[in-house]
Amino acid sequence: MLRRSRIQSLSPALWSRHMSVVAKSLKYTEHGEPQDVLKLVEDELSDPKGKQVLVKILAAPINPADINTIQGKYPVKPKFPAVAGNEFVGEVICVGENVKDLKEGQHVIPLATGLGTWTTHAVYNADQLLAVSKKVGLAEAATVTVNPCTAYRMLKDFVHLCPGDTVIQNGANSAVGQAVHQLCRAWGINSIGIVRDRPEIAELKEMLKCLGATEILTEAEIRTSDIFKTGKVKKPRLAFNCVGGKSATEVSRHLDHKGILVTYGGMSREPVTVATGPLIFKDIAFRGFWMTRWSKENYNAPERSEMFKEIFGLMENGKFVAPAHEMVPLEKFKDAAAAALNFKGFTGKKFILDMSK
């Protein structure tokens, strides 16, 4: 056995080689509301072997899809018992003998989906992880694989956009919406956002414009706006919808000829209704996008590496920030999960489980 003085002097990496690591994880064995089915449990982890990596999770966000997965309302169905969560940023504690591309002390994010990330420690395969510069903030790194990547792919994959072109989106204050504004600013694209009216609308508009939005309009304002007729900005060739219902219909009306509306969410839980006139006379098209599917189909594709490189470059240079968020301790997961379901602040807020201490 190691003497006490020797143990106290060990680095975290060396410590893990001599002492077993106990992970605190949020697990569930049945579908239901997070506050009811999630349990904080402890498990002893074995040392990583072969191509495995032991990771200390530093931060992991609570996404709507995570809540839906726990509720059993998402297409991804985990095997029970399951650890909740899909995104994280962590620190490599130690690696198996056959791991070549990762080393102790590096920050990593998940390349694979559904790994189970609401935990203090985990053992993953090396090919499921991507190293991230420590210059990238914890909140930015923890939330990069879903929302910014969704925004990036929708801007890249449906219409060839050039500087000066325009995109329009509803839910413009969502995490994806905030990412769209920032990428559009970086690429010289006009970003028109639509949001629900609220008492704090002036503050919300200012915040989104600071992120890069060209203009923010309420659902009532967009119906009467002449922003496109006057030529202030070009008519949008691309639109994003995360609401559905009448909101999606209104967005589609403003598309230019042969424009495309991409649906990636449905917060209103109402179907996307197509306006007959724009469909016939402007030949607009309707598409869907799911980041999880794209990631699986392009796991090792050059386009994926290029996407991460560009997004992380913007983050390191302070040109891309995490969405409005609040860091909460793992032990307060019930409060955070309830708040994630019910929060109705003027911008909305992403809750991130903080295990960095």
User: If we measure between CA atoms, which residue out of 71, 84, 73 comes closest to residue 116?
Assistant: 84
CA atoms 291, 38, 322, 211: torsion sign? positive
Is 264 a residue of the active site?
no
Please, which residues have CB within 8 angstroms of residue 202's CB and are 6 or more apart in sequence?
Answer: none
164 backbone φψ class: left, alpha, beta (φ>0; ψ -120 to 50): left
Interior CA angle at 282 toward 272 and 260, to 5°? 50
Query: What are the b/e assignments for 190-211, b being 16+ CB within 10 Å?
Result: bbbbbbeeeeeeeebbebbbeb
DSSP letters spanning 251-317: HHHT--TT-EEEE---TT-EEEPPPHHHHHHS--EEEE--HHHHHHHTTT-HHHHHHHHHHHHHHHT
Partners of 285 in the β-ladder: 260
Q: Which amino acid is at 55?
A: V
Query: How many residues comprise the chain?
Result: 357
> For 12, phi and psi rounded to 5 degrees?
-55, -35
Three-state DSSP class for residue 204: helix
Choose, from 28, 74, 124, 264, the residue flagged as catalytic. 74
Say if residues 260 and 287 touch (Cβ distance below 8 Å). Answer: yes
Token pair for 47:
């040392």
Q: Which residues participate in catalysis according to the annotation?
A: 74
